[in-house]
Chains A and B, each alone.
Chain A
Amino acid sequence: MKKPFLITGFIVTLTINPLFSDVLSNSLNNMLKKKDSSGMVNLSGINVGGKRKPKVRYGNQIVRKTRPSTTVIGHYNNGKAIIKKEANAYLKKVTKGKIKDLDLLPKKQRLLVLKDLQKMYEIKHFKKRPGTTVIGHYNDDKPVLKKEANAYLRKVTKGKIKDLDFLPKKQRLIVLKDLQKMYAMKHIKSRPSTAVVATVNEKPIFKSEADNYLTSVTGGNIKDFDRLDSQQRLRLIQDISKPIVIKEAAENNVTSEEKEEIFKQMWIGKKRKMLNVSSEEMLALYNLKKQKALAVNPQAVIPNYMSLGDSLKNEILEQKIMGNLMKDVNITVNYDANKTVVIHDLNHSSVKLDKMTKTKE
């Protein structure tokens, strides 16, 4: 009677074992499909189909080889040993009791668990620096305290991050720079309006000029040049420099004869704008011209008044301008050109003198 039972038991054990392993695989698969709520173990890194630990046969049973729970599996950042049972406990927690032994996982996944434990330990045993720690300096060498950074951090993260030391180095530096910028803006020392803020080809640009320009381009929103950062200052000075550089180049490259002509044209243009010409004046001039022309040639073809409109106006304007200028003018004519006139002229430059000597030669 005993023999058939033993045989049946043996067959049942052999068929059930692979069945159980399929059940474990399915459950792990289901866990992978579920979203991780703990946020600690990266379940997506776990591979259910990964290589299993080698099987060891004890008598008739096949058992997976696992290390004792006191085995040291790694070290925390302070050198303290990480014991396997800590990893098991963690694994049990995150897999909701589905995996209880670290050794059931392939090597890659075991390493992930170890890293998680190390991270958690680091966070748990994180030593925050006191609020009075100097984390940097403002532009006037006043120290930047950690508590100031904490307050700023709390404000900008709406209370989500309260301590600077929780941030990685790069972000800590950004916070420090922000604080320094804000301090510089708040404690700005504005220079007087007579201060020279820049030079363009050694020509000074005064702060008042820069302030005025800034006010006009920002529509009055920013009025102080000293409130700008270095890049903004450069851009603004470049803009202000353009007309200065153009004027300088023009001054050096336009001859005195050209300048005289430019001034003449400009002055005449200005005068023309100030004077008025009535239609009666234009008609009177037209009639006068017509009379003169007919007196010379009675068959002369006289153009229509309307077609002469602008030229008549221009002639009258010229007459008016010149008439004013020539009033009480004192003109002398030197009929004997060989007579030499000696002039003491303060306005003659040495360049002109040079030109004259050259022409003499």
Chain B
Amino acid sequence: MVNVKKVLILLGLGLISSTTLVQAKTAGTVNGMKITVKDANKALKLLTKGKQTWATLPKEGKKQLIYMLAPSKLVAVTAKKQLTAKEKEGAIASYWMQKKMSKIKISDSEAKIAYNKMLKMAKKAKSKAKIPPFKKAKTGLKMQLAQEKVVSKLMKKAKIKIK
């Protein structure tokens, strides 16, 4: 159980002071940015399949590990600095969207209905564009339908006020 009182007190403290005091065991630094022992152990768990920890690692191994983790740390910081807010927003949104879409299953029959609708619309509009056969269009259509489902769910919850 999470101690709610403690969390609230800490949250309050966090709000009172914009500077938070963080105490953590540091394995190394890259341009002043710390790599915690926790980070190091996480990487070691993957690299040595849990055979080694930061504490048991020899000096040379520690150095190698910090040098190995350094680029990732640098990329993370540089990316955060160099990417614009718009780019970040867009990237997060598309990642989340794909994650959500992957959870939605669209059946072949649903895709077929959408395909037939599309055909009808094209016929009505007297479109000259070539429509690919259902087999080819199926994957794209399913993606589109999944996206529509995610968006429509969100839009139902959205509070829109016109002024």
Q: Kindly supply a per-residue 1/0 record for chain B positions 28-44, scoring 1 wherever the CB is within 8 Å of any chain A CB and 0 otherwise.
A: 11111010011000000
Quick one: given A330-B32, A357-B6, A358-B2, are A245 and B74 in contact (CB under 8 Å)? no
Q: How far is the CB of A116 from chain B (nearest CB, A)?
A: 47
Partner-binding segment picked from B88-96, B106-114, B124-132, B136-144: B88-96
Across the interface, do B30 and A329 meet the contact criterion of CB distance under 8 Å?
A: yes
* Nearest CB in chain B to that of A250: its residue: B96
Across the interface, do B25 and A325 meet the contact criterion of CB distance under 8 Å?
A: no
* Cross-chain contact of A332 among B14, B29, B155 (Cβ < 8 A): B29
**Does B45 count as interface, using CB distance less than 8 angstroms?**
no
**Does B7 count as interface, using CB distance less than 8 angstroms?**
yes
Q: How far is the CB of A314 from chain B (nearest CB, A)?
A: 15
Q: With A and B bound together, what is the CA distance between A245 and B89 in angstroms?
A: 12
Quick one: given A246-B151, A262-B91, A337-B27, are A200 and B14 in contact (CB under 8 Å)? no
**Does A334 count as interface, using CB distance less than 8 angstroms?**
yes
Q: How far is the CB of A359 from chain B (nearest CB, A)?
A: 8
**Does B102 count as interface, using CB distance less than 8 angstroms?**
no
* Cross-chain contact of A330 among B11, B30, B37, B159 (Cβ < 8 A): B30
- Chain A contacts of B117 at CB under 8 A? none
- Chain B contacts of A345 at CB under 8 A? 19-20, 22
Q: With A and B bound together, what is the CA distance between A199 and B20 in angstroms?
A: 34
Quick one: given A333-B27, A335-B59, are A350 and B66 in contact (CB under 8 Å)? no
* Cross-chain contact of B163 among A196, A238, A331, A333 (Cβ < 8 A): A196
Q: Kindly supply a per-residue 1/0 record for chain A positions 346-361, scoring 1 wherever the CB is within 8 Å of any chain B CB and 0 otherwise.
A: 1011101110111100
- Chain B contacts of A268 at CB under 8 A? 75, 79
Across the interface, do A353 and B10 meet the contact criterion of CB distance under 8 Å?
A: yes
Across the interface, do A341 and B154 meet the contact criterion of CB distance under 8 Å?
A: no
Across the interface, do B162 and A237 meet the contact criterion of CB distance under 8 Å?
A: yes
Interface size on B, residues (CB 8 A): 62
Interface size on A, residues (CB 8 A): 64
**Does B119 count as interface, using CB distance less than 8 angstroms?**
no
Partner-binding segment picked from A164-172, A177-185, A253-261: A253-261
Across the interface, do A262 and B92 meet the contact criterion of CB distance under 8 Å?
A: yes
* Cross-chain contact of A341 among B11, B34, B80, B89 (Cβ < 8 A): B34
* Cross-chain contact of A249 among B7, B13, B34, B96 (Cβ < 8 A): B96
**Does B83 count as interface, using CB distance less than 8 angstroms?**
yes
Across the interface, do B18 and A346 meet the contact criterion of CB distance under 8 Å?
A: yes
* Cross-chain contact of A247 among B6, B32, B89 (Cβ < 8 A): B89
Quick one: given A266-B91, A267-B83, A343-B22, are A201 and B28 in contact (CB under 8 Å)? no
- Chain A contacts of B11 at CB under 8 A? 350, 354
**Does B67 count as interface, using CB distance less than 8 angstroms?**
yes
Q: Kindly supply a per-residue 1/0 record for chain A positions 319-334, scoring 1 wherever the CB is within 8 Å of any chain B CB and 0 otherwise.
A: 0001001100111111
**Does A234 count as interface, using CB distance less than 8 angstroms?**
yes
- Chain A contacts of B46 at CB under 8 A? none
Q: How far is the CB of A257 from chain B (nearest CB, A)?
A: 10
Q: With A and B bound together, what is the CA distance between A342 and B22 in angstroms?
A: 6
Q: How far is the CB of B63 from chain A (nearest CB, A)?
A: 5
**Does A67 count as interface, using CB distance less than 8 angstroms?**
no
- Chain A contacts of B83 at CB under 8 A? 263, 266-267, 270
**Does B26 count as interface, using CB distance less than 8 angstroms?**
yes
Q: With A and B bound together, what is the CA distance between A260 and B88 in angstroms?
A: 10
- Chain B contacts of A30 at CB under 8 A? none
Quick one: given A259-B92, A334-B26, are A325 and B74 in contact (CB under 8 Å)? yes
Q: Kindly supply a per-residue 1/0 record for chain A positions 265-297, scoring 1 wherever the CB is within 8 Å of any chain B CB and 0 otherwise.
A: 011101000000000000000000000000000
Quick one: given A246-B97, A264-B72, A341-B26, are A354 and B10 in contact (CB under 8 Å)? yes
Quick one: given A242-B151, A330-B30, are A356 and B22 in contact (CB under 8 Å)? yes
Across the interface, do B75 and A246 meet the contact criterion of CB distance under 8 Å?
A: no
Quick one: given A245-B154, A344-B19, are A334 and B27 in contact (CB under 8 Å)? yes
Given contacts A254-B96, A345-B19, 6 further A-B contacts (CB under 8 A): A195-B163, A325-B75, A335-B62, A337-B25, A339-B26, A354-B10
Q: Which residues of A contact B (CB under 8 A)?
A: 195-202, 230, 233-234, 237-238, 241-243, 245-247, 249-251, 253-254, 258-260, 262-264, 266-268, 270, 322, 325-326, 329-335, 337-346, 348-350, 352-354, 356-359
Top 9 nearest A-B pairs (CB, nearest first) are: A350-B14, A267-B79, A250-B96, A263-B79, A341-B26, A250-B93, A348-B20, A333-B28, A332-B29
Task: Give 13 A-B contacts (CB < 8 Å), ordered by A residue.
Answer: A246-B151, A254-B92, A262-B91, A262-B92, A264-B72, A266-B91, A267-B78, A330-B30, A332-B28, A337-B27, A341-B34, A342-B21, A359-B38
